[in-house]
Amino acid sequence: MAESIEHPGHAGGHDAPHDHEMSFWSKYIFSTDHKVIAMQYLFTGMAMGLIGGFFAYAFRMQLAFPGMEVPGWGMVSPADYNSLVTNHGTIMIFWVAMPVLIAAFGNFLIPLMIGCDDMVFPKINRLSFQIFFVSAIVLLSSFFVPGGAFGGAWTAYPPLSANPNYSLTPMGSSIWVVAVALEFIAFLLGGINFITTAMNARAPGMKLYDIPIVVWMIVVASILFMASVGPLIAGAIMLFMDQNIGTHFFDPAYGGDPILWQHLFWFFGHPEVYVVLLPAMGITAEIITVFARKKLFAYRTVLYTTFGTGVLSFTVWAHHQFIAGIDPRMAHVFTITTLLISIPIAEMCFVYVATLYGGSITFSTPMLWALAFIFEFLIGGVTGIFLGASGSDIYFHDTYFVLAHFHYTFFPIAIIGTFAGVTFWYPKMFGKMMNDTLGKLHFWGTVIPFNLIFIPLFVLGAAGQHRRIYNYEHFPELSAPWMQDLRQVATIALVVMLGMQLVFFYNFFASMFRGKAAGKNPWKSNTLEWTADSPPPHGNWPEGLPNVYRGPYEYSHPDRDDDYWPQNVPS
């Protein structure tokens, strides 16, 4: 062991034959290899995404065709409806966006991109996934307990969530809290690994400004998560005690304070948006530089903007609470900080456009996803201004305008950003190319229906359609025929979009067997992961870990014949 540490070149040589003797269980299920753990997170996230998408299908059908027997679910009762929307939100944010964007890409990319053989703590990494997996099972189990799954919305506002007499889900609400708390522990363990690995285990020669933007962004996102989730962990303990041992932290009937939960929740909840946004932004940066064959415009500015976003994201949380009875003077402060935070994000978008400007652009499938991310996220960002300004938020609060707004932020992040990353790194993950025609079909089949779902919901929200209502037939002013038509448009578009995901899954799995061999560097990219074999073996570079000589974005350098200049090639 000591020998392999001193001579990096021998480490992989030791490992490689050992690898073949491993059983299926120790190679794929209890592996400590960062790439296997990344795949575990990716596949678990995809499976949870299917469940979350199915929930959306069930409750959207109820909204478009009230009282109809939904194929695959049956009658959606009011209690079903509440637990479906609650768990759709919970799953999509905590069990899809987080595991895929932070954990799957973080695990796969950080060691490969900074040129080391694994995470610094591989066993803690494995433990992190195991806790995460248990948390997913715990959450799903809540659908099978007496009273059913929690239905008090993914924000779990008390007193509804704190008192079973109100929520009517005595076990479901506690299971929800436990599952979320376990998930937080999993990501704290993973985040500590990511941060320490990126800080300490970089390849010789890789200075701070030579680290690819996506690694920086995943690390900053992990720090944001770590710094924001503590109060909510404390809040989750308090909520669990309110539910189960009779404390009254949040129940106003006994001297508790329900607004306290809102502060604890959103102090985490708003930085959380940036926790998932930053990795998607980073993935986009990697893709557009490769497919525009241009150096990233203003690397350092992007970096400082990322830090600025991170700091500001801790000062905006109360914009979720403008109508919760907070002091109007405080609302002014939070309006200002909220409008301020749109500046760094807008700056990133401008930087990406400047990177594209004058580049020789290839519209490959990953590039289409990356461009769509910038375009669609922009709509989400711009509609956020209406909600960040306390004056207009009082009107829009809790309408479908809010819902459409945050789907225009989270969908580009969690779905478009993920597809961008998966289609871009697929050759490295599995050693094969995906089918480009099917990839483009899936792209248009996802992005067009996505807009057809949420543009009608913007219109409905602006017309005053309130959220979390089971059946709009009970509200004469909200059941005008044109409104019901728009609801049906959104629902049909959702069904089309879900159907189009079959194309992706076919392409994803069929390409593993039938795809064209990818080679080490199919996109002619500079970053270190493309210098390893596809897929990289355990230890990543059995022939010896790479050294780094330059930054990651030296494309189309005037002194070079090739239009790229890998980081590991000596000058």
**Min CB(201)–other proteins separation in Å:** 4
Cβ closest to other proteins, residue 267 vs residue 523? 267
Residue 417 region by backbone torsions, left for phi larger than 0, else alpha for psi between -120 and 50, else beta: alpha
Residue 380 region by backbone torsions, left for phi larger than 0, else alpha for psi between -120 and 50, else beta: alpha
Does 206 bind other proteins (CB under 8 A)? Our answer is yes
Q: Which residues contact 334 (CB under 8 A, 6 or more apart)?
A: 315, 316, 317, 318, 319, 322, 390
Longest dimension (CA), the chain: 77
- Residue 157 DSSP one-character state: -
Q: How many residues bind other proteins (CB under 8 A)?
A: 54
8 Å CB contact between 567 and 551: yes
Please report, as a single letter, which amino acid is at residue 422: V
Q: Which long-range contacts (CB under 8 A, 24 or more apart) does 241-247 make?
A: 242/158, 242/162, 242/163, 243/161, 243/162, 243/163, 243/164, 243/173, 243/174, 243/177, 244/174
| Alpha helix positions (H), 67-120 | 78-90, 105-114
SS3 readout for 239-255 = HHHHHHCCCCCCCHHHC
**Min CB(105)–other proteins separation in Å:** 18
Alpha-carbon distance of 537 to 40, in angstroms, equals 16
Cβ closest to other proteins, residue 412 vs residue 542? 542
User: By rule CB under 8 A, what string of x and - marks binding of each residue 388-417 to other proteins?
Assistant: ------------------------------
Give the DSSP per-residue string, 323-343.
Answer: TTT--HHHHHHHHHHHHHHHH
Of 17, 67, 255, 558, the one binding other proteins by CB under 8 A:
255
Alpha-carbon distance of 34 to 107, in angstroms, equals 6
- Beta-bridged to residue 517, according to DSSP, are 432
Does 310 bind other proteins (CB under 8 A)? Our answer is no
Query: Which structure tokens are listed for 487?
Result: 């609801």
Does 237 bind other proteins (CB under 8 A)? Our answer is yes
Q: Which stretch binds other proteins (CB under 8 A): 189-197, 345-353, 362-370, 519-527?
A: 189-197
Of 76, 84, 218, 238, the one binding other proteins by CB under 8 A:
238
Q: Which stretch binds other proteins (CB under 8 A): 42-50, 57-65, 256-264, 295-303?
A: 256-264
Interface positions, 259-298, toward other proteins (CB under 8 A): 260, 263-264, 267
Of 83, 173, 197, 567, the one binding other proteins by CB under 8 A:
197
**Min CB(125)–other proteins separation in Å:** 10
**Min CB(112)–other proteins separation in Å:** 11
**Min CB(89)–other proteins separation in Å:** 22
**Min CB(140)–other proteins separation in Å:** 27
Alpha-carbon distance of 541 to 13, in angstroms, equals 10
Cβ closest to other proteins, residue 144 vs residue 254? 254
Of 241, 298, 452, 495, the one binding other proteins by CB under 8 A:
241
Residue in the block written with tokens 């990501």: 187
Of 13, 66, 122, 431, the one binding other proteins by CB under 8 A:
122
Interface positions, 4-33, toward other proteins (CB under 8 A): 4-5, 8, 11, 15
8 Å CB contact between 366 and 288: no
Of 130, 141, 155, 247, the one binding other proteins by CB under 8 A:
247
Q: Which residues contact 251 (CB under 8 A, 6 or more apart)?
A: 158, 159, 162, 163, 242, 258
Query: Which structure tokens are listed for 241?
Result: 């005690």
**Min CB(12)–other proteins separation in Å:** 10
**Min CB(457)–other proteins separation in Å:** 34
Cβ closest to other proteins, residue 311 vs residue 343? 311
> Where do contacts with other proteins occur on this chain (CB under 8 A)?
1, 4-5, 8, 11, 15, 111, 116-122, 188, 191-193, 195-197, 199-202, 206, 226-235, 237-238, 241, 245-249, 254-257, 260, 263-264, 267, 539, 545
